[in-house]
Structure 1
Amino acid sequence: MRIVIDGRMLSWTGIGRYTAALLEGLEAIDRSNEYIVLMRQEDWARWKPQEANFRRVECNIDPYSPAEQTTLPKILRDLAPDVVHFVTPNAAALYRGTKVVTVHDLTLLDFDTSRGSLPKRLAGKAKRLPFRLIFQRQLATATRIVTDTGYVRDQLIERFGLDPAKVTAVWIAADSAELTEAREETLEGVSASDSLIFYVGNYFPYKNVRVLIEALALVSRSRPDVKLVLAGKTGEYQEGLLALAESLNVADRVILPGFISDGQLNWLYKNSAMYVYPSLSEGFGLQGLEAMAQGLPVLSSTATCLPEVYGDAALYFDPHAAGDLAQKIAELLARPELAAEMASRGYARLPLFSWRATAEATHQIYLEAVQWRR
């Protein structure tokens, strides 16, 4: 077979990581089929083929651009693939060949992620309608659809009336080897003697980070040693988060370091009391698995797919109830034996996830897609 994989988003945080890990896994298991990876020139250094049956083809078409719908289908037809894998559902909806489409989550359908100035937000909102149309077209014309979790699979089938045989859930995995090797670096404003609540990620409203500050205000009444570390670029959301912390009298306990190095991340994993994941919508929830891999007990929202992924290896809270979260935080802080048990459960759950297994399952879907088309 000739398999084309859309790798134009290798520089993107989540999708790029998924694509790179999938390619690495496919190179490990398939030495016979031909693979062509479409890549933008600016991402050329991010992935280099290690096997003779894999090669890169330059394709400088930006994601979510008009050319993605007009020019990209022609490029694909000229490559004459047996199957194309689109790692997101936004690309080349008019391509009519055999295709596998990965749908990671439904966040863009359910939540407004526009940000920036008013003109930018309005432009972002205006793009939602064409995205929905492209999304629905891609679902209708895909030969096979891959989701990261059973939750997203079931939602797609229910909302869009898809044939269940067409949609397969394939779990992904967490990578922590590089992080473990990073030399620890301390973080200004905190020390190992603090009881640290840790979150790292982005700050779109659906990430629900505000509930962490609200819960901190409740916990801090009886635990003056507790601090909340919100790592990652907060951008235009930082002012609102700081204002909330100020209004709840916990501004001195909220640490916003922005982007942090692997060494600082490593230190936080080693010295935090827990990792908290308050999101209202996820397709998988890698950060929680990464925290488990680093030995942290995990507190998780009950929303969407998170209970499926974390199983009994997390303590759960209602993401709309700061009081429920505060109670769980206080319980973990007061009961070291519970924290140790949850950390142990996290380690025990990790073997269920592997990028090699992801690659093997995805490879099988390629074979099924081609066979079905024939």
Structure 2
Amino acid sequence: MRIGIEAQRLFRPHKHGMDIVALELIRALQVLDHKNEYFIFVKPDEDKSCINETQNFKIVEISGANYVVWEQIMLPFYVRKYKLDLLHCTSNTAPLNLSTPLVLTLHDVIFMEKSTEKNTSTNYQKYGNLYRKWLVPKIVQKCKSIITISEVEKANITKTLGLKNDAVTVIHNGVSRRFGIKPNPETVKEIRTQLGLSEDYFLFLGNVEPRKNVKNTVKAFVDFAEKNPTVKLAITGLKETFIEDILNEINKKELLDRFVLTGFVDDITLLALYSEAKVFLYPSLREGFGLPILEAMAFGIPVVTSNISAMPEVAGDAAFMVNPYSIAEITAGMTVAYSNKQLRKEKINLGYGRPALFTWQKTAAKILAIYQSNGYDI
């Protein structure tokens, strides 16, 4: 069988959630399946070393002016060129005019939902959301199989797009084995020194999207920090001005030095930050899955996360659950996770068991079964 996997942004140096999911899936399939032929379609970029060709996995670089042209014009051309039996699109969208059987991973329908928060997206992100809003309702009608990443998201998708319940299959994401392997202590110490982090810090993976709940998280940490003078909050992916604006809003600019803004972090730095954080904060308002919860748990880091959306499905009973709309509850969650030694130990021990339930090997096996379910002998 000749299987195509769309992974357009796989080679970009700053990978985000869906890029990482595609990368880990392909790596797991390379280990699992030595029989079928795979063609991995990517756009040329800097990080070509993230994955290697194997005997039955060919990487095909396709140039294109922009996302839409690449997906709607260039990709179908190469699907026909390689005479594929199946195309799996991994990031919510797919070519509209394609005769080849299509499998779509629809991570979420957050882009279809209205938000009451101020839209802080870039023009590129706004354009992408408009494209998805227009395309996805059309493309789901053409798919042989639709995959999503949580039961919560399946309910959202079927309701939003008017699909039957059996039209969507849930296959959870996995957590990479590298999470939980302690980095070299000297490397960790060097990274902390470079960032100006003491040993007493919390970790928060930041993002300008309102659903990431940065405002409430920062405000909650301010309340916590005033009673715990040694703890700092390391925040990735945000500029200092973003935090300054929030602190100015609550007249707490003097606490800016309690926030360490790392910017974008590479894999080594991320693992180092996870490995020694006292608490991991993930009080998001809306997630299709919530992979960082498992990444932190693998390192034995207590997690404070939301009691809504997909977070309970991923965390189980191994996290400190809070109402993400309540600043007081987030602060209380931080306090218990940091100070209550007995509860902290219980959650850490429960957390160690969660990643084993979500592995890329399990994910890849289920994806392979989806390919088989479309009428091919694998």
- Asked whether the two chains share a fold, i.e. TM above 0.5, the reply is yes
With 54-63 and 205-214 compared, the bigger mean Cα shift is at: 54-63
In structure 2, the residue matched to 1:350 is: 355
Matches within 5 A, 1:93-104: 93-104=96-107
Matches within 5 A, 1:35-114: 35-42=38-45, 44-50=48-54, 52-61=55-64, 64-110=67-113
Residue 130 of structure 2: SS of its match in structure 1?
helix
8 Å CA contact 2:93, 2:104 repeated in 1: no
With 167-176 and 53-62 compared, the bigger mean Cα shift is at: 53-62
Identity %: 28
Structure 1 residues 164 and 77 mapped into 2: Cα distance closer, same or farther (>3 Å)?
farther
8 Å CA contact 1:217, 1:248 repeated in 2: no
8 Å CA contact 2:206, 2:214 repeated in 1: no
Matches within 5 A, 1:70-219: 70-110=73-113, 115=120, 121=123, 124-125=125-126, 128-177=129-178, 180-182=182-184, 183-184=187-188, 185=190, 186-187=192-193, 188-192=195-199, 194=200, 196-219=201-224
Aligned-partner Cα distance in 1 for 2:16–2:128: 21
In structure 2, the residue matched to 1:3 is: 3
With 220-229 and 75-84 compared, the bigger mean Cα shift is at: 220-229
8 Å CA contact 1:9, 1:63 repeated in 2: no
8 Å CA contact 1:199, 1:231 repeated in 2: yes
1:149-171 per-residue CA deviation (whole Å, 9 max, x = no partner) reads: 11111211122222322311111
Per-residue deviation at 1:67?
4.2
8 Å CA contact 1:216, 1:250 repeated in 2: no
Structure 1 residues 191 and 236 mapped into 2: Cα distance closer, same or farther (>3 Å)?
closer
1:203-249 per-residue CA deviation (whole Å, 9 max, x = no partner) reads: 32221111122112222343333322212343873553453475365
1:275-295 per-residue CA deviation (whole Å, 9 max, x = no partner) reads: 010211211111111110111
Normalised to the residue count of structure 1, the TM-score between the two structures is: 0.88
8 Å CA contact 2:107, 2:149 repeated in 1: yes
Aligned-partner Cα distance in 2 for 1:17–1:272: 22
Q: What amino acid maps onto 1:2 in structure 2?
A: R
Residue 66 of structure 1: SS of its match in structure 2?
helix
In structure 2, the residue matched to 1:256 is: 261
Aligned-partner Cα distance in 2 for 1:96–1:261: 39
Residue 140 of structure 1: SS of its match in structure 2?
coil
Structure 1 residues 271 and 131 mapped into 2: Cα distance closer, same or farther (>3 Å)?
closer
Structure 1 residues 181 and 271 mapped into 2: Cα distance closer, same or farther (>3 Å)?
closer
Per-residue deviation at 1:349?
1.4
Residue 341 of structure 1: SS of its match in structure 2?
helix
Structure 1 residues 217 and 233 mapped into 2: Cα distance closer, same or farther (>3 Å)?
closer
Residue 81 of structure 1: SS of its match in structure 2?
coil
Residue 21 of structure 1: SS of its match in structure 2?
helix
Q: What amino acid maps onto 2:182 in structure 1?
A: T
1:295-345 per-residue CA deviation (whole Å, 9 max, x = no partner) reads: 100010123111101111111111110001111212223311111111111
Are 1:243 and 2:248 an aligned pair?
A: yes
Residue 67 of structure 2: SS of its match in structure 1?
coil
In structure 2, the residue matched to 1:32 is: 35
Aligned-partner Cα distance in 2 for 1:235–1:85: 39
8 Å CA contact 2:280, 2:296 repeated in 1: yes
Q: What amino acid maps onto 1:139 in structure 2?
A: V
Structure 1 residues 237 and 136 mapped into 2: Cα distance closer, same or farther (>3 Å)?
farther
Normalised to the residue count of structure 2, the TM-score between the two structures is: 0.87
RMSD: 2.6
Structure 1 residues 368 and 40 mapped into 2: Cα distance closer, same or farther (>3 Å)?
same
8 Å CA contact 1:36, 1:57 repeated in 2: yes
8 Å CA contact 2:44, 2:61 repeated in 1: yes
8 Å CA contact 1:7, 1:37 repeated in 2: yes
